[in-house]
Amino acid sequence: MLAGIALYLLCADNEEGAEIYGAAMDRDQARKVYDVAARMVRLSPVLSKRLTVRDSAKRIVDEQTASYYEAIPADAGGNLGHNPHGIVFDEILTQKNGDLWDALRTGMGTRTQPLMVAATTPGNDPAGWCGQMHLEMERVAEDPERAPHILVFLRNLPMDSDPFDESNWAWPNPALGDFLSMQAIRDEAIEARNDPAKENAYRQFRMASVGRLHRGTVAKTVAGQGTVIGSFGLVWPGPRGEVGPYSVVHPHTGGCDCGERRSAATQRGAPGRDGEDARPVEVLDP
């Protein structure tokens, strides 16, 4: 998809001197989209007549409009000074911060019809840059007037949905049954049930759930006080970085002395997503 958008912006958008950049964690990852675009050019009689592929520079050139598409390194400072007409940003969950995004985004101000497109798996840290970006996109999806220049398309399995229920799999996996194998997901689900570490990856990369699985002591908040209700529980934090409606105490120290040493979650009161009191989660027997 990103490759097709990059090529459209390059030669079908009537932009003179268009600069199209492919960004990702590093240039090797950005090259994955570039490689698809280059192959599309080579396989198309129409595109191959107009565009020149320069693999050594990871650049596709349109001499007719003096435009190019290029895979760039992930050095924010080195990407200042660009004048992008288009940005295709792959897997922003790999970005430690928003420096590269901001460097590219602010360079688009002189263009009359710029477009920045990002496609990503959700991150597993709701408080991180990608997590905060996801939160903002949720808000925009709920209220488009918040940022009318942004189009949001989310396919995340809600946290309260069962990731092992096959009827829930199609929503986060629209290609299921087409070029994505149902059996492949069934195999992954079996492995995820048996291994908490694999369940994290399964929820994040296959179900596009936002948060992270924790094994540890589970607590609920009662009038702002931490109350231990079990151990070795299943916890799935919310996308806003809040721990409510679920709270977790440090899994290694078992550290919940409710009188003296409450977890960060219980100290904050562990509010729910909409400000409701925190609710206990299902607690698994050790």
Residue by residue, what is the 3-state secondary structure of 185-240?
HHHHHHHHHHCHHHHHHHHHHHCCCCCCCEEEEEEEEECCEEEEEEEEEEECCCCC
Pairwise CA distance, residues 193 & 185, whole Å: 12
In this prediction, residue 49 has a pLDDT band, given cuts at 50, 70 and 90, of very high
**Which pTM does this prediction carry?**
0.70
pLDDT tens profile 4-30: 999 999 999 989 999 999 998 888 888
**Residue of 117 and 268 predicted with greater confidence:** 117
Query: Does residue 59 register a pLDDT over 90?
Result: yes
Summarised one tens digit per residue, pLDDT across range 166-199 is 999 999 998 998 999 999 999 999 999 999 889 8
Rounded to the nearest integer, the mean pLDDT of the chain is: 76
265 Cβ neighbours under 8 A, 6+ residues apart: 219, 221, 226, 243, 244, 247, 248, 249
10, two tokens: 């390059």
Least confident of 36-45, 77-86, 257-266: 257-266
Q: Tell me the CATH number for domain 2-120.
A: 3.40.50.300
Alpha-carbon torsion 143, 147, 152, 155, what sign?
A: negative
As given in the structure block, the two tokens for residue 268 are 């904050």
**Per-residue pLDDT reduced to its tens digit, 231-242:** 333 333 334 444
Q: Is the dihedral of CA 64, 111, 10, 38 positive or negative?
A: positive
> Which of 43, 97, 36 minimizes the C-alpha distance to 69?
36
Q: Give the highest mean pLDDT range of 38-52, 94-108, 153-167, 185-199.
A: 38-52
Q: Where in the chain is the domain with CATH 3.40.50.300?
A: 2-120
The per-residue pLDDT for 73 is: 80
The whole-number average pLDDT for the span 100-123 is 90
Please state which of the ranges 13-27, 104-118, 119-133 shows the lowest mean pLDDT: 119-133
Helices H, strands E: what count in the chain? 8, 9
Residues 6+ apart with CB under 8 A from 201: 192
Q: What is the pLDDT of residue 165?
A: 95
Q: Look up tokens 């400000």; give the residue.
A: 275
Q: How far apart are CA 206 and CA 199, in angstroms?
A: 10
| Tens digits of residue pLDDT in 98-110 | 998 998 998 898 8
Cβ atoms of 186 and 209 closer than 8 Å: no
Provide, for the chain, the percentages of residues in helix, strand and coil under a 3-state DSSP scheme, each rounded to the nearest 5. 35, 20, 45
Could you tell me the two tokens for 54? Answer: 């320069």
Q: In the predicted model, is pLDDT for residue 268 greater than 60?
A: no
Residue type, 115: L
